[in-house]
Structure 1
Amino acid sequence: MVDKVTSQFAPQRAAAIAKFARHDGRWGRIRGNWATLLLPIGSDDAIDFTRLADEIDRLVAASVDGIYSNGTAGEFHNQTEAEFDAIQDLLARRCSAAGIPFVIGACQADARLSLDRVRRAAAFRPEGIQVILPDWWPVTAEEATDFLMMAAGAADPVPLILYNPPHAKRVFTPSELAGILERVPQVVGVKLADGNVEWYAEARRMLDRWGVYVPGHHLASGVSQGVAVGAFSNVACLNPAGAQRWTSLMSTDLDAARDIETRLRTFLDAHIAPFGRDHGYSNAALDKLLAAVGNWADIGTRLRRPYRWIDPEIATRLRLAAHAAIPEIMAPD
């Protein structure tokens, strides 16, 4: 966990908030609280597009800063190319009609399939396209740069966001990332796991020119450290309207937002993380559990086979604990 901001860092607080609030950075409108699109899966293992459309409408009604598709929680790794196209078409039509920014995840472990997804995603003119690095064999920094250059060509003129999660075959340090990203101007941001105070110090030095997106439940710490401009957020899985309120609070009362984060982390560590750490459930299963706890849309906890999902009755039992721990986030809009 990131240490509390020290008194020595206090003079940088205004600059930290200013970076977080900027709309004129290279990352443009890709800032703040971005809600992930979770796939409602039926008992026949098919995507329920009627429920998916309703989910998008509820996210729009929550006035989130943006919506993104096909992250880990969106099960990009377990859908056909036709399904990929149908999901992006639905997202683009619903968001464009509502005037809300959207980002398409064109993630695929296979480099060629990923580039194909990037080309098709660019046709929807999203705010940005998120990509992962080829993942069957760990890439070198040179190979990562080459792939991002190819992705930039496929996406042109849509900007890219690199998703470099902790479970990637190759996780780059902030210094390594800076060396890669500076050679691919079309990459405007990077989504990654944060670290300790030393990690944040390196990120401030090396990644200031890019939008940095930290885990959603770490966002107040990331903002206070002068690094984060937003999150593709697991907190929005829990309650998109509550996550938006919490994100807005960071621009006016960062100390209060950090207090909420402390209680949020405690709740997640005690009630959600053990399902992954002790029982082997995937991150997508945990995010769908959060959505079931929040109960803001008819998504369900079911994943596509062969991945296991968590009994939805558990969400009912956790709901009271969530309301007690983080009422600011759980309160209805």
Structure 2
Amino acid sequence: MDYSVGCPMVTPFEDDGTLDRASLRSLVDHLVAGGVDRLVPCGTTGEFASLTDAERRSVVETTVEAADGRASVMAGVGGTAVADVRERIAAAADAGADAALVVAPYYGGQAAPAGNERFFDAVAAGASIPLYLYDIPSATGQSLAVETVASLAERGRYDGIKDSSGDLTHFDELLDRTPDSFEVLQGWDAQYVPSLLMGGDGGINAVTHVRPAALGRAGSAVADGDVAAARAVQFDEIDPVFRSAAEHGFAPVCKAILARRGVVENAAVRPPLVALDDATASELVERLED
């Protein structure tokens, strides 16, 4: 079985805070060369909440152009207003994206399952590209009910989900309650190999910035029935990067390492994020060097 390897791409910035399209193209080349087959710009690690709609469109367009068919592009279109999300889906489609990733509403606290289902149904109306759900309770303040996901999946409104709940029981229930054609993708890097062993379809994981080939090796080992090899990749290659990113911030850590390796020009992030200081960045690069 081939497992999808996706990257929730950082958004490179110039020193003055503007988009760095040259570094974005370099990042695409770096990821594709490492075996990433699904590029996901404008997600959480891509600082989507700090981008204007014009910048989002530019990031997606540049990613599509740089990928040039070598990997699919799933554009993040997160927002809390249905009309805005619909417009972002249309813009992503116009820019050449293959699919769009729709995060759960992230303001207002825990919504009723019926309210979330209405939101996702309304967002999907008229969409011309496949849509994927994105569940990340640590950022949105709520977790999508399995019943909501199952209903949307069974009715063909969405083609899959990125599950960043960090809850393997929840992940297992998603696999059990959704059609086989519905992609259940792991977004919590520390659970990548366990999720494949449970029947997951792959993942969208920030670790791919630093070790783009690791998830492919893990997937190949699982497909070959070599659980020991898959666990070794999880423990030795994926987990150290994930722990560092969880401690210091995913975008700051990934950008710091990419900048030290020359993949992107610098490690600039936008407020409220803060870039790593030189000492921390140097220590991380040394510790995580392949």
- TM superposition score category, shorter chain reference: 0.7 to 0.9
Instruction: Report Cα offsets for 1:117-141 as digits up to 9, x if no partner.
Output: 0111122343311011332224322
Q: Structure 2: which 5+ runs fail to align? A: none
Residue 52 of structure 2 aligns with which residue? 80
Instruction: Report Cα offsets for 1:237-290 as digits up to 9, x if no partner.
Output: 212234433333332233311222123465247644333xxxxxx443344345
Instruction: Report Cα offsets for 1:166-190 as digits up to 9, x if no partner.
Output: 221321243442134334x130111
What is the deviation of 1:90?
1.0
Q: Among residues 255, 258, 263, which one is paired with 1:288 in the alignment?
A: 255
Identical columns (%):
21
Separation (CA, whole Å) in 1 of partners of 2:206 and 2:286: 19
- 1:45 alignment partner AA: G
- 1:33 alignment partner AA: V
Residue 11 of structure 1 aligns with which residue? none
Residue 320 of structure 1 aligns with which residue? 286
Residue 61 of structure 2 aligns with which residue? 89
Name the CA shift for 1:111/1:308 in 2 (closer, same or farther; >3 Å).
farther
- 1:76 alignment partner AA: F
Q: Let me know the Cα RMSD of the aligned residues.
A: 2.6
Separation (CA, whole Å) in 2 of partners of 1:320 and 1:61: 22
Name the CA shift for 1:269/1:101 in 2 (closer, same or farther; >3 Å).
closer
Residue 297 of structure 1 aligns with which residue? 263
- 2:275 alignment partner AA: W
Residue 103 of structure 2 aligns with which residue? 132
With the length of structure 1 as denominator, give the TM-score of the two structures. 0.76
Q: Among residues 184, 192, 198, which one is paired with 2:163 in the alignment?
A: 192
Name the CA shift for 1:66/1:202 in 2 (closer, same or farther; >3 Å).
closer
SS of equivalent residue, structure 1 residue 231: strand
Instruction: Report Cα offsets for 1:6-27 as digits up to 9, x if no partner.
Output: xxxxxxxxxxxx5xx3xxxxxx
Residue 231 of structure 2 aligns with which residue? 258
Name the CA shift for 1:52/1:195 in 2 (closer, same or farther; >3 Å).
closer
Name the CA shift for 1:266/1:242 in 2 (closer, same or farther; >3 Å).
closer
Give yes or no for contact 1:292–1:299 (8 Å, CA) kept in 2. yes
Separation (CA, whole Å) in 2 of partners of 1:74 and 1:130: 13
- 2:228 alignment partner AA: D
Residue 101 of structure 1 aligns with which residue? 72
Instruction: Report Cα offsets for 1:72-109 as digits up to 9, x if no partner.
Output: 011110111111111111112222x2432111111123
- 1:147 alignment partner AA: F
Are 1:146 and 2:113 matched, yes or no? Answer: no
Q: Structure 1: which 5+ runs fail to align? A: 1-17, 22-30, 276-281, 324-329
With the length of structure 2 as denominator, give the TM-score of the two structures. 0.86
Name the CA shift for 1:126/1:168 in 2 (closer, same or farther; >3 Å).
same
Separation (CA, whole Å) in 2 of partners of 1:190 and 1:85: 22
Task: Kindly report which structure 2 residues correspond to 1:113-128, keeping only aligned pairs within 5 A, or say none.
Answer: 113-128=84-99
Instruction: Report Cα offsets for 1:134-155 as digits up to 9, x if no partner.
Output: 3222432222222222222242
Larger radius of gyration: 1
